[in-house]
Amino acid sequence: MSDLPCQSIPVVEEFQRPPLPAEAFRRLAALPHVLFLDSALQNEKLGRYSFVAADPFTFLRVPADGSDGLSRLNDELRKWQAPTIEGLPPFQGGAAGLLSYDLGRSLERVPLPKFDEFGLPALAIGFYDIVLAYDHLQQRAWLISQGFPEASAQSRQIRAAARLEQFRKLLNSPVAEPKAKRTEVIRRDQLAPSYSVPGPAGLASNFSAEKYLATVQRAIDYIYAGDVFQVNLAQRLLFPAACDSIPLYLRLRERNPATFSAYFDLGDFQIASASPERFVQVRDQHVEARPIKGTRPRTSRAEADLFAGDELQESEKDRAENVMIVDLLRNDLSRVCQPDSVRVTQLCGLESYQFVQHLVSVVEGKLAAGMSPLDLVRAAFPGGSITGAPKVRAMEIISELEPTARGPYCGCLGYFGFDGSLDLNILIRTITAGRGWWQFPVGGGIVAQSSPQREYDETWTKAAGLLKAIVD
């Protein structure tokens, strides 16, 4: 490695021959709360950077009991600030981890779900003083060590150098297998009622097919009654854990690569995500959101694939679904952005992934003076693409119609940088491992034109890549 000219804190070194991101993740996975923000799918617009971090100096965990987790996060984050180092990838250390969907109950008065067997936290965030940052476009990688939680410049310098040396040795060493997670296993009879569904032996859902169709129709009835314009509905799939979560994630990123993939170890649970969707990003006060609405399955036949993409872009139902969420996001961003800065820079663009094609829009803005990335999250969380519109009434209907807590699903995973940057995905195409189970809800937006059978079929289209990963 060679030194990168920079100020004394943080300490920064560039790898000349860095391990591949997945290999670096494996070499650090034995440390507490390993985090892998993984651009497993890279293209010209997205997926330029990946980050691996572990062993945070502070770990914040807030239960899903309505507590104001964002205020606690803000109080802690304000203690640790560092300027951006130009020329390096954007995450240079900071608070990173999970904002679960159920954090929304601290922002809006929404009823509790009927079942919450797993009891996952509303917020689980590590404060990472050192990060391995990759720039895939330049094919370069750096270790960035901030020296926190030491306060004085000299103490920070000493800690930053020591931590960098510690991580350098780990990254140049053979893989140390993580210790097996010892957590209480939830018996099947302790779970919410479940139903066998097609797929690997042992796969179950919290809906029967008939019940899901009836529930979609109930959502459509709410739309015609004027309660909402759109509401997201999901079925939760469950599968008995067949291996450790690390090989599970490595299979997932190989078989269903995505631009906003991620792995995060909460301790008693782990999140393995192949998300294609960004919730919000902030860089230099510039805000970007990338809502997804509209889905079609991929096919191995190129001509049929193109036809399906054209049909999706021309679909009145899917475009209406997307535009509704764009309008909701414009309203959310306008609460914290400069007047007239909020604009739609892409409407219903077609993006293709391993198993699906999506309509993706882009909404941008600039934070108003005095507004922070956490203010943005408070204004926009949870993402409208996974609730519906109007948001609060849609969340109330979700609580009524879905029998089980969503947990991480439809929440966010990503980082709040020490320099004021922010990047969060939306946790769709995501497996939560823990207590002897892998759970992975799949759903979609219901609008007036929805067909219950087609909505049910779409959930299985979205599950395809996850099902490929759960069996070796």
**3-class SS of residue 159:** helix
Q: What is the DSSP string of 400-453?
A: HH--B--TTTTSEEEEEETTS-EEEEE--SEEEEETTEEEEEEEEEE-TT--HH
Whether residue 48 contacts residue 137, with contact meaning beta carbons closer than 8 Å, is answered with yes
Let me know if 114 is a catalytic residue: no
Angle 376-382-383 (CA atoms, 0-180°, nearest 5)?
85
Considering the candidates 86, 117, 181, 277, report the single residue annotated as catalytic. 277
Q: How many helices (H) and strands (E) does the chain have?
A: 10, 24
Coil, strand, or helix at residue 46? coil
Reply yes or no on whether 317 is catalytic.
Answer: no
Active-site hit among 13, 211, 293, 321: 293
CA distance 147 to 128: 10
Q: Give the angle 144-148-151 at the CA atoms, nearest 5°.
A: 135
- 404, 380, 45, 469 alpha-carbon torsion, rounded to 10°: -10
Whether the link from the prior residue into 10 is cis, omega within 30° of 0, is: yes
- Tokens describing residue 43: 């293209």
Q: List the catalytic residues.
A: 277, 293
